[in-house]
């Protein structure tokens, strides 16, 4: 294992989170370089940490959906392969292609509303990612949103840069037919 250092403000900048804060002290996060095992472990950490965060705010736990996890992992891999090409100000975190992921979740998996949180930083843990998201109003609202399902994909590059994508979704609600809605008229 090797120690990777980063400041919360630097991580916020890397993650393209919109937040202005005073410089934070540097913390050391330990992370092994064994890729696939750590990627799955990080995704599981994110899942546990987000559900813990939701539980503390009286929100229901999310349920893992393998299809959403596959979409999230594909985007995390895309971010790794396209570092610095699509994000604002050269950042590595972005929602490029989100509309396509949302439509795929809606039309092939039967979901209704879909949202996404993305983070990237060197080193880190599920707790680090949740802390970064909680410091951004939009990402925080997504974590606390009234979603039922989630899928998380995490990819770690050879230099220790971790890319984590979490999709959130609701089951599609069925609309009543016209005859049912207007039967009373």
Burial of 44 (0-12, 13-18, 19+ CB in 10 A): middle
pLDDT at position 31: 36
The whole-number pLDDT of residue 91 equals: 58
The DSSP code sequence of 122-173 is ES--HHHHHHHHHTSHHHHHHHHSS--EEEEEEEE-TTSEEEEEEEEEEEPP
Local structure of residue 62 (DSSP, 8 states)? P
Question: For the CA atoms of 140, 160, 79, 62, what is the dihedral angle to 10 degrees?
Answer: -40
Q: What's residue 30's pLDDT?
A: 32
DSSP3 helix / strand / coil % (the chain, rounded to 5): 45, 25, 30
Counting every residue, how long is the chain?
Answer: 185
Q: Which tokens sit at 178?
A: 């016209």
- Ranges of residues in the chain with a pLDDT under 70 are 1-37, 84, 86-94, 174-185
d(CA 80, CA 167) in angstroms, rounded, equals 17
**Angle 35-56/126-134 helices, nearest 10 degrees?**
50
Which pLDDT score is estimated for 18?
Answer: 26
User: What is residue 131's predicted lDDT score, i.e. its pLDDT?
Assistant: 92
* Of 104, 105, 118, nearest in space to 18 by CA: 118
CA distance 76 to 174: 32
pLDDT digits (tens, 9 = 90+) for 148-175: 999 999 998 888 888 899 999 998 876 5
Q: What is the pLDDT of residue 36?
A: 62
């Amino acid at each position: 294992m090797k120690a990777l250092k980063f400041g919360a403000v630097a991580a916020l900048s890397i993650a393209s989170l919109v937040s202005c804060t005073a410089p934070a002290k540097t913390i050391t996060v330990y992370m092994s370089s064994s890729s696939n095992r750590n990627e799955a472990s990080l995704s599981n950490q994110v899942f546990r940490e987000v559900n813990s965060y939701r539980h503390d705010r009286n929100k229901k736990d999310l349920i893992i959906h393998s299809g959403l996890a596959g979409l999230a992992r594909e985007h995390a891999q895309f971010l790794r392969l396209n570092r610095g090409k699509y994000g604002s100000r050269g950042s590595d975190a972005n929602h490029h292609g989100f509309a396509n992921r949302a439509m795929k979740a809606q039309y092939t998996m039967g979901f209704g509303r879909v949202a996404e949180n993305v983070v990237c930083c060197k080193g880190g843990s599920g707790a680090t990612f949740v802390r970064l998201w909680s410091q951004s109003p939009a990402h925080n609202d997504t974590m606390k949103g009234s979603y039922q399902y989630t899928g998380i994909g995490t990819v770690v590059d050879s230099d220790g840069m971790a890319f984590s994508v979490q999709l959130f979704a609701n089951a599609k609600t069925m609309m009543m037919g016209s005859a049912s809605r207007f039967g009373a008229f």
